[in-house]
Copies of this chain bind each other. A is one copy, B any other.
Amino acid sequence: MDQRIHDHAEVLVDWSARVEDGDDVVVRVDEGAHDLAVAVAEKLGERGTNVLPVYGSDEVESAFVRGHDGDFDQDPDFEVAMLERADAVLSLRGQHNTAAKAAASGEKRSAYKKSRTAIKARQMDTDWVSTLHPTRAHAQNAGMGYEGYKDFVYDAVLRDWESLADEMANLKDLLDEGSEVRLVKEGTDLTMSIENRTTVNSAASVAYDSHNLPSGEVFTAPEATEGEVYFDVPMTHDGARIRDVHLAFENGEVVDWSAEVGEGALEDILTTDEGARRLGELGIGMNRGIDRFTDSILFDEKMGDTVHLAVGRAYSSCLPEGEEGNQSAVHVDMITDVSEDSRMEIDGEVVQRNGTFLWEDGFEG
């Protein structure tokens, strides 16, 4: 077995999930994630946890949803009971066909997803971590060969997370102390208030309130957004391609929008509810192990020299105690490349120019 699979398992178990002797650990093994599951199981054995592997297959799930009349049980008792007692849930993603969900109708899929809201919330009460084992299907989705895609995934996952966490702390400190962020590049001049908001140093570990491996971003929950922004990184949302999005904000709300591709899908998102036209997240990608876009939000939004904004729901970890933040049924990330001809200011001070931060060599303020 590729040594990197063992290394991946070790980062997941020890750095990300921080399991302890006697923990009850659910391991969700996707169709194509078998090899990573073997490495993770051995590591969990060494740490003295209990393991319950569950099977994650878009094809099996779609078949169930397709067969069902659509009136799904909320909260099936046996799954709730399992998750309530679990200390951690490790999701090892990796399908054999990333389009498999298309085998069930959108209406039933959406009813099924809704029926699982409480299940998902229970999983989020555990020390959950989601990661990806590279499969040929995901390589295909990224438009890459399999060997190259594996290199891409392991470059993103096998970082020196401790030193990346230290570096990201620089930006977290600046954002925690700041009141207003301004983002400027071609087609973009946007200001947001981050007064009284907390920034998450998302260093791919539950110890940092960070549940994705890879991670490598800092994010907070902005409000009172003004101005316009251009997202030049292509995205796929619920199967729809969306490209070259422009949004214009007034008083925190989107008042005008356009997209070169997928404008209908963009409109569907923005008209979901009122919160879908306000920002829920400002995130700054700082994982320089990710060197290209692969049409996967797990990787794309963490890429160094990018900034993403999400319309919709805000994360509670960014909000002051008792404050609700932006509410919405959606949370949709959109990404802009800031590697060239761009700058980010906090309270008028430039903190990043053309992808270089103020504490880095070559920074031009």
Q: Which residues of A contact B (CB under 8 A)?
A: 22, 24, 26-27, 29, 31, 34, 37-39, 41-46, 48, 50-57, 59-61, 63-69, 71, 73, 76-79, 81-86
Contacts and interface: CB of A to CB of B under 8 A. Distances in A.
A4 to B, nearest CB: 17
B67 A43 contact: yes
A41 B63 contact: yes
Contacts of A31: 34
B67 A78 contact: no
Nearest to A39: B63
B54 A53 contact: yes
Given A45-B66, A50-B73, A55-B55, 12 more contacts: A29-B57, A42-B64, A42-B66, A46-B68, A48-B71, A52-B78, A53-B54, A53-B57, A78-B83, A78-B85, A78-B86, A81-B81
A78 B82 contact: yes
A43 B26 CA distance: 26
A54 B79 CA distance: 11
Contacts of A71: 48
Nearest to A72: B50
Nearest to A82: B82
A294 B48 CA distance: 38
Contact of A65 (B45, B48, B76, B81): B45
Given A34-B31, A67-B45, A81-B82, A54 B52 contact: yes
A26 B68 CA distance: 16
A76 B24 contact: yes
